[in-house]
Amino acid sequence: MPSPAPRRTTRRKVTRRDFLKRAGWTGAGMTALVVGASRGRPSAQPATAYPEWIPASPKPPKRGGVLARASQWDPPVLDPRLTQSVGLFQFAGLTSSRLVRYAFPEEATGTSDLTLKGDLAESWQSSSDGRMWTFKLRQGVKWHNVPPLKGRELVAADVKYCFEAYAKEGVQSFNFREIEGMETPDNYTLRVHLQTPNVLFPQAVAESVTVIFSREVLEEDGDLKKRMIGTGPYMLKEHTRKVRVVLARNPDYYDKSRPYVDEYVILSTPDTATRVAAFRTGQSDFVSLASPSEVETVRRTNPASAVQAYHNSLTPFGLALAQDKPPFNDVRVRRAISMAIDRQKQVDTVYESHGIPGWGVPYIYYQDKAPTLKDLGPWWQYRPAEAKKLLGEAGHPNGFDTTLFYYEYFPQMSSQVQVVQQDLKKNLNIDVKITKLDYTTYYGRFVEGKWDGMSWGFQSGHAVGLDERTYQYMHSKSTKNFFRVNDPVVDELTTKLRRTPDRAEQRAITKKIVDREFDQALRLWMPYDNGFLVFQPYVRNGAALAIRRTDAYGSPTIARLWLDK
């Protein structure tokens, strides 16, 4: 729909120092407030009072204004081939486009709507065997009007070049190496030939990390680490590492009515207290919180704020074991460790009864309701006596020493790590030495696999597609197999899944993969609560979708968001 003429904004340039100064809170003081609140039970408004879905506003959208947010993440590198970090893709999805995308909040029927929509591609279809996919591109899409692209039109050869570059190196190479060849019969047609059938290929290129970058930048610079030029709704105006990212509205975006907000400022703010204080004082337009008590604390000073209770369909974090080496290559050791950890205690205390017990593959792909702890099989139950006996049978009656490293994505994570450390010491006499790292160091070490012992590992939060969540993350040959899964049954099932077009059969195969993962204790998922997104009362159409939070991998939502003020 047409948008009103741009409005002049009086909001001046925002810096991290402004956040700290205007918030009026010291880091120590605010940390005490947040941590202290999270220890108790909810006291004001129960979590159930907050909606799990915020529908799109029926009002005509307004254009203009500056959106600001304090972020806990900093991009380790700008090159989308070399990282899947949320630090980059919290804004890369705005500077760059994809062939296909998932539905935006105002298009979706609810948080779990997995409908595919066209982005650079207007339509796509496959051959009968699922090996050839043809994408018809949107005409008139322009690259950002800056050197060396200077606003030239995007053509099919650009996408072909980009996919070939992805296949050569980086964490996404495994996905694109399945491409046997590509053709561009004209400027607006891309024909992709796969080595093996994959009925889920459109979902793979719809992932938030499969952004299209340009030949010119890569060839001029030799890498993509210095600048990010795409065809997306925003242009990268400023990137100062560990300080801030500033995006400016792209006046030549193919969707002429969008984006609505003129500028988006993301400040690097690793301190939770500073992020919360910034929101409370109006210097940040939305913030993610992990517990009901934190929400209540914020709402005491910001009662008009809008809250979305976000219930994830998967758990992104878990105990990763170096299972390619002793002692973790023994399934008895992995099962014993799993049974020695009291997950329900974490749900009840760390997450104030608002958490989920923990599972890997999104349940929406194999059943209708979220699993309970009892549904996850015998090795996920808290049975310390059986765990002790099983560890003894594996040759470790007196336990052993090991290490664990992690990054504190949110304060509750440190509590979880300590609870796991205590459970393993008390129940199995496993001595765990914990090391807390900064985000960049942690991310690099975990993804590159340069570690032994344990890690508080993750499955990259971006992935929505079923193929990514199964084949890409669990197949033994995948470059994204960060948990070092090497199971022939999983390899066979995940390969079969991507060749199965029938939805009912897909659900059945996915359930077998999940059951195998739980039985073999391949990835020890821990309780999690994606918590709450809290918006200033004037923010419209910013709701989060399943696995796609607005402040994270769901960043393209920002192009549809508008400020009602």
**What is the average per-residue pLDDT within 402-410?**
94
The predicted structure's pLDDT at residue 549? 87
Q: Residue 10 pLDDT > 70, yes or no?
A: no
The predicted structure's pLDDT at residue 11? 43
- Pick 321 or 31 by higher pLDDT: 321
pLDDT grade, residue 19 (50/70/90)? Answer: very low
Give dist(CA 36, CA 562) in Å, integer. 34
pLDDT tens per residue, range 118-137 = 999 999 999 999 999 999 99
Among the ranges given (50-64, 481-495, 543-557), the one the predictor scored with the smallest mean pLDDT: 543-557
The CATH number that domain 16-47+55-309+530-563 falls under is: 3.40.190.10
- The pTM for the full model equals 0.82
pLDDT grade, residue 32 (50/70/90)? Answer: very low
Say if residues 91 and 73 touch (Cβ distance below 8 Å).
no
Please state the domain extents for the chain: 16-47+55-309+530-563, 317-525
Give dist(CA 418, CA 408) in Å, integer. 12
Give dist(CA 186, CA 181) in Å, integer. 16
Would you list the DSSP string of 31-83?
Answer: HHHHHHHHHS---SS-GGGS-S--PPPSSPP----EEEEEES---S-S-TTT-
In the numeric block, which tokens belong to residue 113? 């709507």
Question: C-alpha dihedral over 40, 46, 48, 54, to 10 degrees?
Answer: -110
Contacts with 163 (C-beta within 8 Å, 6 or more apart), sequence order: 176, 179, 182, 192
* Residue 281 exposed, middle or buried by CB count within 10 Å (0-12, 13-18, 19+): middle
DSSP 8-class letter at 1: -
The predicted structure's pLDDT at residue 45? 44
Q: Residue 38 pLDDT > 80, yes or no?
A: no
Among the ranges given (2-11, 79-88, 142-151), the one the predictor scored with the smallest mean pLDDT: 2-11
CB atoms within 10 A of CB 418: 13
The predicted structure's pLDDT at residue 310? 83
Give dist(CA 72, CA 66) in Å, integer. 20
The predicted structure's pLDDT at residue 28? 32
Say if residues 544 and 311 touch (Cβ distance below 8 Å).
no
**What is the average per-residue pLDDT within 340-349?**
96
The predicted structure's pLDDT at residue 439? 85
The predicted structure's pLDDT at residue 18? 52
pLDDT grade, residue 37 (50/70/90)? Answer: very low
Q: Residue 423 pLDDT > 70, yes or no?
A: yes
CB atoms within 10 A of CB 130: 18
Asked whether this chain's domains 16-47+55-309+530-563 and 317-525 adopt the same fold, the reply is no
The predicted structure's pLDDT at residue 141? 98
Give dist(CA 497, CA 105) in Å, integer. 28
pLDDT tens per residue, range 517-533 = 999 999 999 998 878 99
DSSP 8-class letter at 548: B
The predicted structure's pLDDT at residue 240? 94
CATH architecture of the domain formed by 317-525: Roll (3.10)
**What is the average per-residue pLDDT within 11-30?**
41
DSSP 8-class letter at 121: E
Give dist(CA 333, CA 521) in Å, integer. 9
pLDDT tens per residue, range 461-489 = 678 889 989 998 999 998 889 999 999 99
**What is the average per-residue pLDDT within 36-58?**
61
Q: Residue 292 pLDDT > 70, yes or no?
A: yes
What is the rounded average pLDDT for all residues in the chain? 89
Give dist(CA 281, CA 534) in Å, integer. 13
The predicted structure's pLDDT at residue 443? 86
pLDDT grade, residue 108 (50/70/90)? Answer: confident
- The partner residues of 238 in beta bridges, in order of sequence, read 246
The predicted structure's pLDDT at residue 48? 53
Q: Residue 110 pLDDT > 50, yes or no?
A: yes
The predicted structure's pLDDT at residue 41? 36
Q: Residue 544 pLDDT > 60, yes or no?
A: yes
- Give the neighbor-by-neighbor strand order of the sheet with 189-194: 121-126, 132-137, 189-194, 179-186
Which range among 230-234, 408-412, 531-535 has the greatest average pLDDT? 230-234
The predicted structure's pLDDT at residue 112? 81
**Dmax (CA) of the chain:** 73
Q: Residue 324 pLDDT > 60, yes or no?
A: yes
Give dist(CA 252, CA 142) in Å, integer. 7
Give dist(CA 542, CA 69) in Å, integer. 13
Would you list the DSSP string of 416-474?
Answer: HHHHHHHHHHHHH--EEEEEE--HHHHHHHHHHT---SEEEEE--TT--SHHIIIIIHH
Question: CA distances (Å), 509 to each of 109, 481, 490, 501, 515, in order?
Answer: 26, 19, 10, 12, 10
The predicted structure's pLDDT at residue 23? 37
Q: Is the dihedral of CA 86, 92, 93, 98 positive or negative?
A: negative
Q: Residue 16 pLDDT > 60, yes or no?
A: no
Q: Residue 429 pLDDT > 90, yes or no?
A: yes
**What is the average per-residue pLDDT within 198-222?**
95
